[in-house]
Amino acid sequence: MQDLIISGKMKMADIINHDKRALVLMPRFGIELGFGDQTVKEICADKGIDTDFFILMVNVFLNPGYFPDRKLKNLDVDMLLLYLENSHKYYLEEKIPYLENLLEEFKNSVDHPVTGQLEKFFTQYIDEVKDHLAYEDHTAFPYVAALSEQIRKKQLDLSGIDYNIGVFEERHDNIEEKLSDLKSLLIKYFPTSNDRYIRIRLLNELMDFEEDLINHARIEDKVLIPIVAQLEQKIS
Amino acid sequence: MSKSLIIAEQSEIIRKGLVYIAEAIGIFRSVREVACSSALMDHIERYQPDVLIINPGMVSIENLENLKEQNKGDLKIAAVVYALFDDDLLNAFDDVIMVGDTRQKIQRKIHALLDKTPPRKASRPENTLSARELDVLKLLVKGLSNKEISDKLFISTHTVISHRKNITHKLNIKSVAGLTVYAILNEIISMEEVQ
């Protein structure tokens, strides 16, 4: 698959057909499928999404080498936060419960006492992910929202807010290590299960989740952090 | 300017890039290109190159060994790699040039080939754990710290850390929780011991 750099003139359906990873992005922008042959620009106009913002986000998400540069300047921070919160919601309400169900099914298909340990390991991993997401939802994002609000009202007073994006950057540690271990165990070391498809399904979903999280982290590193750093400079 | 080089690679953009980098070294009297494997043997026979840089996809391991035998070590062969290849195949080359390598690195590698330095013997990937690594793994999954492990095994913490790195590298598992599952699965420790 070749990299895809999208533009406003492209048809949304073509983008998804070219790169299926774009599919999970639709609900994060509040876009429903069934848009016919509409272009990115048309759909964005319809939904009240800033087209440049949409293009920037999708390109960063789909392309590890894409660097947004100047386009960041006029980006709507609230829109970005909404997108990030929607992503978290998807992980927490959709993806993680699904993974948990699959693991349960897998556990039942393997006749080995070690599955208890595997479950413990998996639970630890999921808890780490949840902690990470909760920290962003309850500490980092509200700070960014407050910052943007102050700039809008031209209050420019940050006393009372004891936080800065540097803290976020430091805490933005990787939560991928355990996931990678889990993959190795399932691919290489677990004994054959009674139902081979459940294992493939589980692995498929884990890899999908892993990739999604990596792309999501790139949005935070390349878009969120630089933007907030810019806002902070405006105020200080 | 007495050496000669053949570059065998299907992709023109990569082939030309290698030609450009190799010519810039200034030690080759001739740099020839081969774009498909059918012409390769003929070229080698006719031009007797000192160095061959080749895409491993264009040659089988048997061909490669034959080539080396025929030329009795006078021909140095490097692979140019941008896909996943079997380690056994790559180990049969004198060196491996990655497409992402910098120009300096590629030139250094070519120099090293001609300097008659003994061919790089890439260590065969060994995935089974040594007895010592097993000792470390057992204690690690029981929840001991590096310091505790070093006291128990009478080795330095530095050595413990190096064993841990090797274990992680061989198994592709980093976390202690993941290693625990591995250890139980392979009956290195029992379920009871980790509780």
Give me the torsion for CA of B132, B134, B138, B139, rounded to 10°: 20
Q: How confident is the model at residue B195 (pLDDT cuts 50, 70, 90)?
A: low
Return the percentage of chain B with pLDDT > 70, whole number.
92
Contact A3, A32 (CB under 8 A): no
Q: What value, to the nearest 5°, has the Cα angle with vertex B23 and ends B21 and B24?
A: 65
What residue has token string 């290590």?
A177
Q: How confident is the model at residue A3 (pLDDT cuts 50, 70, 90)?
A: confident
Instruction: Please give the Cα distance from A212 to A170 (Å, whole number).
Output: 21
The domains found in chain B, sorted by start residue, are 3-114 (3.40.50.2300), 131-194 (1.10.10.10)
Nearest to A93, CA basis, from A186, A27, A172: A27
Element (H, E) at B34: strand B28-34
Return the percentage of chain A with pLDDT > 70, whole number.
92
Distance of residue A190 Cα from the nearest chain B Cα, in angstroms: 7
Instruction: Please give the Cα distance from A33 to A12 (Å, whole number).
Output: 10
Nearest beta carbon to residue A117 from set B171, B175, B180: B180
Domain-wise residue ranges, chain A: 12-71, 76-235
pLDDT in tens, A206-225: 999 999 998 898 899 888 98
Q: How confident is the model at residue B149 (pLDDT cuts 50, 70, 90)?
A: very high
Computed on alpha carbons and rounded to an integer, the radius of gyration of chain A in Å comes to 20
Asked if B174 is an interface residue toward chain A (Cβ–Cβ < 8 A), one would say yes
**B77 DSSP β-pair partners:** B52
What is the distance, to the nearest Å, from the Cα of residue A136 to the centroid of all Cα atoms in its chain? 12
Instruction: Please give the Cα distance from B32 to B43 (Å, whole number).
Output: 9
B15 by DSSP, 3-state: which? helix
**Does this model's pTM top 0.90?**
no
Asked if B175 is an interface residue toward chain A (Cβ–Cβ < 8 A), one would say yes
The answer to whether ipTM exceeds 0.90 is no
**B96 DSSP β-pair partners:** B79
The residues, any chain, with a CB within 8 Å of residue A224's CB and separated by 6 or more, are A80, A84, A144
Chain A, residues 102-121, CB within 8 A of chain B, namely 112-114, 116-118, 120-121
Distance of residue A117 Cα from the nearest chain B Cα, in angstroms: 6
With an 8 Å Cβ cutoff, are A121 and B181 in contact?
yes
Query: With contacts defined as CB-CB under 8 Å, which chain B residues touch A121?
Result: 175, 177-178, 180-181
Pairing of strands B76-81, B51-54: parallel
With an 8 Å Cβ cutoff, are B180 and A177 in contact?
no
Q: How confident is the model at residue A157 (pLDDT cuts 50, 70, 90)?
A: low
Nearest to A112, CA basis, from A24, A190, A1: A190
Nearest beta carbon to residue A124 from set B171, B173, B177: B177
B185 by DSSP, 3-state: which? helix
- pLDDT the model gives residue B1: 60
Pairing of strands B3-8, B95-98: unpaired
Contact B169, A106 (CB under 8 A): no
pLDDT at A231 over 60: yes
Q: In which order are the strands placed within the sheet that holds B51-54?
A: B28-34, B3-8, B51-54, B76-81, B95-98
State the amino acid at position B86 in one-letter form: D
pLDDT in tens, B4-49: 999 999 999 999 999 999 998 888 999 999 998 888 888 888 888 9
With an 8 Å Cβ cutoff, are A184 and B171 in contact?
yes
